[in-house]
């Protein structure tokens, strides 16, 4: 509980009353009774036993679900462990997709994005809608009809074993760079509200996730995601509703954001160096999220757990709607953060030590005096992280087994050996990602941009390889291999160099204005002299020189760039080493392209013959209707 001589909303501006201002040259001005920033931080860290109880209850519930599917329902066997026996229900799978897609990175990163850079980011929602149409008609029918377990099986059928291994390696690299960020974000929130070091809470929570993922398999992952989705929505709605009410209503939030220039329409500038334009948000956002949704093992594994393509499409559009709602809630939370702190920026005063601690700080301001509610918020953020972590671990188990072990073994593994290998994969990867949190902590970028930038190293080449296979019949294995490796090298160079330049301050982006005129506590101003420098001074280091223009490419164009490099080089190499496409199985390309392939070959495709249902066969049609009803 906050000290009695300290206001519960210290440093914030819940109404339009004036606040005592601090002199920039005299950090301690205001009298001996004025608290300093460390006093304020200590007063806000009032995470009590009711909050710990709610947080621990969420973790115990996850463990309970894992125990249920591991020992009561007994999720044993490869097909059951990895794809839920391919008879999962649509609604829980849809909620699992939302929970896996919206990690703690989005819950904390999206409000930070809006607070620091403005509302342009909302336009990325149009890109999400485009993903739904493209995936529904291009990628999803191909993968589901082939009845895959690992999406990278497709690459061997379409090209050869080398391309399958390349695709699997790209996925593994992407997972190993993404999961540590997923783990780090909720630990940041926990640190802000409790003061507990992130390296204390991280191993504890990861052990819980590794346990229920190991024991319960995909069914445990999906049903824990289902529960965690409601906790996520509940935590975010609680903050935005109470925060808006305490502030004086929606009009106050909108006015303060409008006056600061945060409410804006993105520019139509075609320069790829501009951080956010309407084109980078819609097109770049669409391509980035297409890779995540359409070809990523994390997501496709859930669609493959549903019995038919129709059920998968229904889950897809439910997922799209859920993502749009959550982006809207998280974005508005960013506007709410600014409305509360419009006269006392917590990043300038170091009340929040990292950009992605803004929302937890607001939560402690508005919910800190209400026992149990801070615990619900922390449970919501960790729920988002656990859902993504468990998804990544389970998917990686599928890829290791199907793509790295089985292809190099002449005989099948026994069921017991298979189970041990999958669980061992989950355990080892979980330990590695927990250790890599130390590396993530050293970066200087807020997590939403960091995740997009690093994931593009592998996501662009991966999307390029799959898209060539599905959309371009004359692409061959040589083109896919050279194109994929070229895209990986190019995006690794660009992304890592840009992040290094951002971390050492050589690249900075224009941020929205902030103020400290209304702060009611003292803080050290010496750390904020950078705010007085011009963008040109910040951008140019006299010793290292100006960064290359390519390093300033908007992070939203990274996946587009990687995809275009991969496909362009792949096309050239395939033309040079052309092959007869009459050998191509039409089931391996998008449905709207199959009609352009030779009809005799279409008739001999076992995949297409298996998925077609004759219109005259009433019995089969009736069975499909019954199956449709049961899956709902």
DSSP 273-325: TSS-BHHIIIIIHHHHHHIIIII-HHHHHHHTTSSSHHHHHHHHHHHHHHHHH
State how far the Cα of 178 lies from the Cα of 180, in Å rounded to an integer: 6
Give the pLDDT of residue 48: 85
Q: What is the mean pLDDT of residues 55-61?
A: 89
Q: Where are the domains of the chain?
A: 50-70+84-437
pTM, entire model: 0.80
Q: For 126-182, how does the pLDDT look when each residue is reduced to its tens digit (9 = 90+)?
A: 999 999 999 999 999 999 888 887 788 899 999 999 999 999 999 888 888 888 888
Given a cut of 60, whether residue 20 has pLDDT beyond it is: no
Q: What is the mean pLDDT of residues 42-62?
A: 86
**% of the chain with per-residue pLDDT over 90:** 31
Give the pLDDT of residue 380: 85
Give the pLDDT of residue 528: 45
Return the closest-CA partner of residue 425 out of 83, 176, 223.
Answer: 176
Q: For 435-478, how does the pLDDT look when each residue is reduced to its tens digit (9 = 90+)?
A: 888 877 766 555 667 777 788 889 999 999 999 999 999 899 99
Q: For 329-339, how does the pLDDT look when each residue is reduced to its tens digit (9 = 90+)?
A: 999 999 999 99
Provide the CATH number for the domain formed by 50-70+84-437 in this structure: 1.20.1730.10
Cβ pair 535, 435 in contact under 8 A: no
Cβ pair 453, 494 in contact under 8 A: no
Q: For 79-122, how does the pLDDT look when each residue is reduced to its tens digit (9 = 90+)?
A: 665 555 566 778 888 888 887 777 777 888 899 999 999 999 99
More confident residue, 403 or 279: 279
Cβ pair 562, 492 in contact under 8 A: no
Given a cut of 90, whether residue 485 has pLDDT beyond it is: yes
Q: Tell me the C-alpha to C-alpha distance, in Å, between residue 283 and each of 101, 126, 137, 479.
A: 19, 9, 18, 25
Return the closest-CA partner of residue 115 out of 362, 336, 325, 367.
Answer: 336
Given a cut of 70, whether residue 401 has pLDDT beyond it is: yes
Q: For 198-256, how does the pLDDT look when each residue is reduced to its tens digit (9 = 90+)?
A: 888 888 888 888 888 887 777 777 788 788 788 888 889 999 999 999 999 999 999 99
């Amino acid at each position: 509980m906050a000290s009695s001589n300290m206001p519960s909303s210290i440093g914030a501006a819940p109404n339009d009353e004036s606040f005592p201002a601090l002199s920039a040259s005299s950090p301690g001005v205001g009298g001996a009774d004025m608290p300093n920033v460390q006093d304020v931080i200590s007063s806000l860290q009032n995470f009590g036993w009711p909050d710990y109880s709610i947080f621990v209850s969420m973790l115990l519930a996850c463990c309970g679900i894992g125990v249920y599917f591991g020992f009561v329902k007994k999720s044993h066997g490869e097909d059951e462990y990895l794809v839920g026996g391919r008879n999962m229900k649509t609604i829980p799978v849809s909620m699992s997709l939302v929970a896996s897609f919206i990690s703690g990175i989005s819950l904390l990163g999206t409000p930070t994005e809006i607070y620091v850079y403005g509302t342009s980011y909302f336009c990325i929602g149009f890109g999400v809608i485009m993903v739904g149409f493209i995936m529904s008609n291009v990628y999803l029918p191909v993968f589901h009809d082939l009845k895959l377990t690992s999406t990278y099986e497709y690459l061997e059928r379409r090209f050869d074993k080398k391309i399958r291994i390349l695709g699997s390696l790209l996925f593994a690299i992407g997972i190993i760079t993404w999961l540590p960020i997923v783990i780090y974000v909720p630990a940041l929130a926990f640190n802000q509200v409790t003061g507990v070091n992130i390296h204390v809470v991280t191993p504890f929570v990861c052990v819980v996730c590794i346990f229920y993922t190991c024991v319960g398999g995909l069914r445990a992952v999906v049903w824990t995601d289902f529960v965690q989705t409601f906790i996520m929505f509940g935590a975010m709605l609680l903050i935005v509703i109470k925060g808006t009410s305490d502030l004086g209503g929606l009009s106050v939030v909108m006015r303060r954001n409008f006056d600061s220039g945060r409410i804006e329409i993105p520019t139509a500038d075609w320069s790829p160096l501009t951080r956010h334009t309407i084109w980078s948000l819609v097109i770049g956002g669409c391509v980035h999220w297409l890779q995540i949704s359409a070809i990523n093992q994390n997501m496709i594994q859930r669609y493959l757990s549903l019995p038919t393509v129709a059920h998968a499409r229904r889950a897809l559009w439910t997922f799209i709607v859920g993502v749009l709602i959550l982006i809207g809630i998280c974005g508005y939370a960013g506007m709410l953060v600014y409305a509360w702190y419009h006269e006392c920026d917590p990043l300038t005063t170091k009340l929040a030590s990292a950009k992605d601690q803004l929302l937890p700080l607001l939560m402690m301001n508005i919910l800190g005096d209400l026992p149990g509610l801070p615990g619900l918020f922390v449970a919501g953020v960790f729920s988002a992280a656990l859902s993504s972590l468990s998804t990544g671990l389970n998917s990686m188990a599928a890829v290791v087994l199907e793509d790295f072990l089985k292809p190099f073994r002449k005989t099948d593994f026994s069921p017991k050996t298979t189970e041990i290998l999958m669980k061992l994969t989950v355990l080892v990867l979980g330990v590695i990602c927990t250790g890599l949190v130390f590396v993530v902590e050293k970066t200087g970028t807020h997590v939403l941009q960091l995740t997009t930038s690093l994931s593009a190293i592998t996501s662009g080449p991966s999307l390029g390889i799959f898209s060539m296979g599905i959309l371009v019949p004359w692409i061959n294995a040589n083109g896919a291999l050279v194109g994929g490796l070229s895209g990986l090298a190019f995006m690794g160079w660009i992304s890592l160099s840009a992040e290094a330049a951002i971390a050492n301050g050589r690249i900075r982006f224009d941020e929205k204005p902030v103020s400290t005129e209304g702060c009611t506590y003292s803080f050290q101003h010496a750390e904020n002299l950078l705010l007085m420098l011009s963008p040109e001074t910040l951008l140019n280091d006299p010793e290292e020189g100006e960064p290359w223009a390519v390093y300033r490419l908007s992070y939203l164009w990274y996946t587009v760039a990687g995809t275009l490099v991969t496909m362009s080089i792949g096309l050239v190499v395939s033309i040079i080493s052309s092959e007869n496409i009459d050998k191509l199985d039409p089931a391996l390309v998008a449905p709207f392209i199959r009609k352009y392939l030779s009809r005799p070959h279409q008739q001999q495709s076992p995949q297409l013959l298996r998925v077609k249902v004759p219109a005259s066969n009433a019995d089969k049609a009736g069975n499909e209707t019954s199956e449709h009803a049961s899956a709902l």
